[in-house]
Structure formats: structure tokens, C-alpha cells
């Protein structure tokens, strides 16, 4: 557990709402309204941290469980019926990042929530995300309004409230449960098993437009770091390094693993970190951290620690497509059980898809299997 997180948790939740620069209108709150709605939940979460910091095996799971139950307590029976499912429901692993018209989503949408329920739903996300992750989430959601304004009669309905919460199993620090926050270009899945965060993947982030080119929000590029950090690394390669690190002249049309329930293990193409210079390894780590630091520190640190233990020979970076900004490109970072994919080829290379996959433990598969063997075997 990262004890530095404890005194800052309430600050983080408050900042995540009050200081988001490009949030949808329904997320923007006055400070007084925000404090009135969220302070009781913040107090519960901070009290939970203080009282169990040295006894509970996973503080993040406890915080998320408390926030989930606080949200569910606000729902009316018909809302709860839409939002809740059994743990083994097929919808738990049926995820996607396309518009809802292309992939029917099950759960409770923000459109169907009262304003105070929307705030509590966002507080639930704040229990597991960092300020950076919350900002990206809200900005991605708000891009739907830009798409709607640009083409109000378009093929798909664009609405920043067309995002869904789904719960699988009963939120508790005992047993197993999970939940998902999902809509167009945002799919975040979380699983808790026996009081531990078992998984925060699949984790998908996308933007359309990748960079806003016109209007009052011109210049906004939500996933700029994900693109720029990787291009900086690829452009730093020597001719010999490029022979390995540039895996194709043309980028694929999308991420290879798509929205598959189980991500296939891709061939570890690209240049091994062991073949990089020290400065390049640091840059590679900067890219990985940009993705993982979307989560609160104790969650991000755990995954980073496991990657640090991996042999550099088994961590690969591969780039495909042009190295010029504004032209189609793709990259992936792959460790034995970990994968990041990024693709920007659609819409004139102004439409980004990126994902984090745990090749062994998406949806908490590995820990759920261990839990089942321990508690349900004869």
C-alpha cells in the first residue's frame, strides 16, 4: 500500500471534479454543490483508509467497494435492475469501444440518472482513478458533444451522457464482484476478488477527434502524450535500431486485439528494451507510466513493479507507419503478460484507439480461477 496516497485522497476526489478544464456541462459543478454532495462520501472513504490502513490487504478495493455501495444506495428499484447483474453474466466480459448503436450496452446510463446520482457515479470512478485519469475520461466523454455539433444528423447519436455503469455481483471486500464504466471510446473494467483489486483491464481510451481542429476548444488533444512520447522514442532510434523497432511501413487499420474477450498473445515484434540506450529505456518507461498513471498510485505502482521485474529482453516496442505527425501510425509495447496498443489511422490520422490488456488476467480471470478453486471445489 502507498501510504502517501492516504492524506491526499479527499483532495484528489475534489480536484478531479472541480478542476477538470473540458468536462461536459453536466459534470461542471459549483464548489458549494460539489462539497454538499461529495463530502459525506469523501469522509467515509478517508475514514475507511485511516481505520484499516494497516489491516486491510488492499485499500483500493475497500475504497472502491465503499463508493460502489454508496452509488447503488441512491438508485431506485428500476434503476438498480438495469445496473446490476450476476457475476457470471456474459455481459461482464462483453465490452466494446464503438458507439452504442453498433454495440448494445446493458447497464444504467448517465442519461437515466438524476444529477446527484451522476455525481456519485463520478465519485466511484474517482475512487480508483488518478486526477489525470479522471480528466481524460471526462474529456473523452465531452468529445461526443463536438461530434454532435459537427454532424447533428449523423449516423450515430452523440451524447456525453450516453455512458453506462454496470455492476456484476455484490460489491463487498469478501467474495468477488466487478463493474464497468463504458461508452463510445471509453471502456474501463474493474474486478475485486477477496478484498483485492484483481484487475483493471481491459482498459480502453479513444478520441475522435484526436486533436480538435476548429471551434472554441481548438487544440485540445486528450491523448497527446500517448502519441508524442512514443514518436519521440521511435525517432530516436539509430538506423540499426529502426531495422528492428519499425515493424511495418504501413500502420494497421485498428488495434490488433480489437475488443476481443481474451486478447491473443501477439508475436513480440519490435526492438527489445535490452537493445535500447539508457535514455531510450527511460523514454519507454515514460510511455508505460502515461497509461498506468491513469489509475491511483497504489494500483499503478503495483503493475509498474511487476514490469520492472521483467527481463528487458522480454519487453518490446514496435512502431508501424509514418513518423510524421498527422500521418497514420501504430505502436505496441509488449511484455510476457502485458500489452499496450495504440492506433491512429482513421479520420485522416485524427482518430485514436489505445488499450491496455493483461494477457493472463483480464477481467481478473487468474484470481477468479484461484478464488473458485479455493471456495467452490469439492
Q: Where are the domains of the chain?
A: 3-201, 224-360
- Residue-level pLDDT at 176: 97
Instruction: Report pLDDT digits (tens) over 41-78.
Output: 443 333 333 333 333 459 999 999 999 999 999 999 99
Beta strands in 122-251 (DSSP E): 164-168, 176-183, 186-193, 196-199, 203-207, 246-248
- Residue-level pLDDT at 365: 76
Provide, rounded to the nearest whole percent, the portion of the chain with pLDDT above 90: 78
Instruction: Report pLDDT digits (tens) over 64-120.
Output: 999 999 999 999 999 999 999 999 999 999 999 999 889 999 999 999 999 999 999
Report the C-alpha gap between 71 and 281 in whole angstroms: 42
Between 138 and 50, whose confidence is greater?
138
Residues 148-154 have a mean pLDDT of: 89
Q: Judge whether residue 21 has pLDDT over 70.
A: no
Instruction: Report pLDDT digits (tens) over 197-221.
Output: 999 999 999 999 999 999 999 999 9
Taking a C-beta distance cutoff of 8 angstroms, is the pair 329, 200 a contact?
A: no
Report the C-alpha gap between 38 and 122 in whole angstroms: 10
Coil, helix or strand for 344? Answer: strand
Coil, helix or strand for 251? Answer: coil
Report the C-alpha gap between 287 and 193 in whole angstroms: 29
Q: Give residue 178's Cα distance to chain centre.
A: 14
Q: Judge whether residue 34 has pLDDT over 60.
A: no
Amino acid at each position: 500500500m502507498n501510504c502517501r496516497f492516504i492524506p491526499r485522497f479527499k483532495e484528489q476526489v475534489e480536484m478531479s471534479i472541480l478542476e477538470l478544464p473540458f468536462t461536459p456541462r453536466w459534470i461542471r459543478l459549483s464548489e458549494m454543490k460539489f462539497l454538499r454532495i461529495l463530502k459525506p462520501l469523501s469522509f467515509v472513504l478517508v475514514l475507511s483508509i485511516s481505520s484499516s490502513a494497516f489491516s486491510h490487504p488492499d485499500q483500493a478495493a475497500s475504497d472502491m467497494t465503499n463508493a460502489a455501495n454508496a452509488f447503488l444506495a441512491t438508485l431506485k428499484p428500476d434503476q438498480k435492475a438495469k445496473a446490476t447483474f450476476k457475476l457470471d453474466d456474459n455481459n461482464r466480459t462483453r465490452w466494446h469501444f464503438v458507439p452504442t448503436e453498433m454495440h448494445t450496452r446493458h447497464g444504467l446510463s448517465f442519461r437515466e440518472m438524476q444529477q446527484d446520482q451522476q455525481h456519485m457515479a463520478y465519485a466511484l470512478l474517482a475512487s480508483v482513478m488518478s486526477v489525470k485519469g479522471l480528466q481524460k475520461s471526462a474529456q473523452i466523454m465531452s468529445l461526443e458533444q463536438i461530434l454532435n455539433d459537427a454532424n447533428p444528423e449523423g449516423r450515430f447519436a452523440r451524447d456525453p451522457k450516453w455512458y453506462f455503469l454496470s455492476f456484476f455481483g455484490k460489491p463487498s471486500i469478501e467474495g468477488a464482484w466487478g463493474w464497468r464504466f463504458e461508452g463510445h471510446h471509453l471502456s474501463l473494467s474493474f474486478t475485486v476478488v477477496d478484498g483485492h483489486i484483481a484487475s483493471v483491464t481491459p482498459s480502453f481510451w479513444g478520441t475522435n477527434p484526436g486533436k480538435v481542429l476548429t471551434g472554441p476548444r481548438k487544440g485540445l488533444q486528450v491523448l497527446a502524450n500517448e502519441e508524442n512520447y512514443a514518436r519521440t522514442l521511435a525517432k530516436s532510434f539509430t538506423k540499426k535500431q529502426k531495422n528492428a523497432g519499425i515493424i511495418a511501413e504501413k500502420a494497421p487499420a485498428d488495434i490488433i486485439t480489437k475488443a476481443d474477450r481474451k486478447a491473443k498473445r501477439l508475436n513480440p515484434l519490435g526492438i527489445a528494451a535490452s537493445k535500447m540506450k539508457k535514455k531510450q529505456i527511460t523514454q519507454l518507461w515514460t510511455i508505460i507510466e502515461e497509461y498506468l498513471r491513469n489509475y491511483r498510485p497504489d494500483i499503478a505502482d503495483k503493475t509498474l513493479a511487476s514490469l520492472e521485474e521483467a527481463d528487458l529482453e522480454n519487453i518490446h516496442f514496435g512502431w508501424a507507419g509514418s513518423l510524421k505527425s498527422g500521418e497514420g501510425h501504430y505502436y505496441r509495447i509488449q511484455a510476457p503478460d502485458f500489452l499496450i496498443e495504440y492506433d491512429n489511422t482513421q479520420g485522416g490520422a485524427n482518430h485514436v484507439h489505445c488499450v491496455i490488456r493483461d494477457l493472463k488476467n483480464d477481467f481478473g480471470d487468474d484470481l477468479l480461477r484461484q478464488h473458485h478453486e479455493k471456495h467452490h471445489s469439492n
